[in-house]
Amino acid sequence: MGRAFEYRKATKLKRWGNMARTFTRIGKQIAIAVKAGGPDPENNPQLRAIMANAKRENMPKDNVERAIKNAMGKDQKDYKEMNYEGYGPFGIAVFVETATDNTTRTVANVRSIFNKFGGSLGTSGSLDFVFTHRSMFTFAKKDDVDMDELILELIDFGVEDEFDEDPESGEITIYGDPKSFSQIQKYLEENGFEVKESEFTRIPNDLKELNDEQRATIEKMVERLEEDEDVQNVYHNMKAE
């Protein structure tokens, strides 16, 4: 069980506060993916991955189809992906990914939350040494597959030799080069793997341990950030309990 799994177990299970906010987040992802690669999921691997994640989040098929249709309309908002990096209290690094049609509003909101909790925003790239940007795929393990051989097959796509296996579900999670997302996804699909989840993630290279009171403060800050309608993901390097 690697550091990536421990981090995901501590943070990933705490999903966005409510279903409406989750659907809004996915709708923005769909809009960005359609604009970049078109509305046909067969020819747009990023859109195909988002649709699979939407299904996992129980987003109704009608909602997904409407989001795709709206993304092709001339009145669709032009969402821009923006990242904000900084430090919260107790020296905890916080990386915020957003999708926004108004960067002035978004940066003001994010900065306000950092300031409220005694943190501060840094410059773009200031946390490059803290987090590793990776593509991530979780799939059902196949009894007839040797994981070492599978990793060798995928090594040209920048897939790490360390993988995680969930002891409860038996699902496998691998991590690869973000630029090879489409190739990794295509390989898994063409070789009959049931992909449960696929996305980009940021894995902290070093985790900081805090006491219970400090942890509660960071968790509250992350919660406030995730409540913002423009925020897609929040990453930090606080160690799990």
Domain CATH for 34? 1.10.10.200
The answer to whether 163 touches 193, Cβ cutoff 8 Å, is no
Q: What does pTM read for this prediction?
A: 0.87
* Confidence at 2, pLDDT banded by 50, 70, 90: low
As given in the structure block, the two tokens for residue 50 are 């988002």
For residues 136 and 198, membership in a common domain is answered with yes
For residues 120 and 218, membership in a common domain is answered with yes
For residues 146 and 191, membership in a common domain is answered with yes
d(CA 228, CA 223): 9
**Residue 132: per-residue pLDDT:** 93
For residues 192 and 136, membership in a common domain is answered with yes
Q: Which of 71, 89, 112 is the last residue of a domain?
A: 71
**pLDDT at residue 5 is higher than 80:** no
Query: What backbone torsions phi and psi does residue 204 show, to the nearest 5 degrees?
Result: -70, 140
On whether residue 4 sits in a domain, the answer given is: no
The answer to whether 2 touches 164, Cβ cutoff 8 Å, is yes
On whether residue 5 sits in a domain, the answer given is: no
Percent of the chain whose pLDDT exceeds 70: 93
d(CA 87, CA 93): 5
**Residue 15: per-residue pLDDT:** 46
Please state, in angstroms and as integers, the Cα–Cα distance from residue 143 to each residue in 34, 133, 192, following that order.
Answer: 36, 30, 12
Domain of 46, in residue numbers: 15-71
For residues 30 and 137, membership in a common domain is answered with no
For residues 198 and 217, membership in a common domain is answered with no
For residues 146 and 177, membership in a common domain is answered with yes
For residues 147 and 197, membership in a common domain is answered with yes
Q: Which of 52, 71, 90 is the last residue of a domain?
A: 71
For residues 141 and 23, membership in a common domain is answered with no
| Half-sphere exposure in the Cβ direction for 198 (13 Å, CA) | 27
- pLDDT (tens digit, 9 = 90+) per residue, 170-209? 899 999 999 999 899 999 999 999 888 889 999 999 999 9
On whether residue 7 sits in a domain, the answer given is: no
Mean pLDDT of the 59-79 span: 89
For residues 121 and 211, membership in a common domain is answered with yes
For residues 93 and 193, membership in a common domain is answered with no
On whether residue 222 sits in a domain, the answer given is: yes
On whether residue 106 sits in a domain, the answer given is: yes
Q: 């991530």: which residue's tokens?
A: 136
Q: Which residue has the higher pLDDT, 154 or 76?
A: 154
On whether residue 8 sits in a domain, the answer given is: no
On whether residue 6 sits in a domain, the answer given is: no
On whether residue 44 sits in a domain, the answer given is: yes
d(CA 36, CA 38): 6
For residues 90 and 193, membership in a common domain is answered with no
How many structural domains does the chain have?
A: 3
Q: What CATH number is associated with residue 119? A: 3.30.70.980
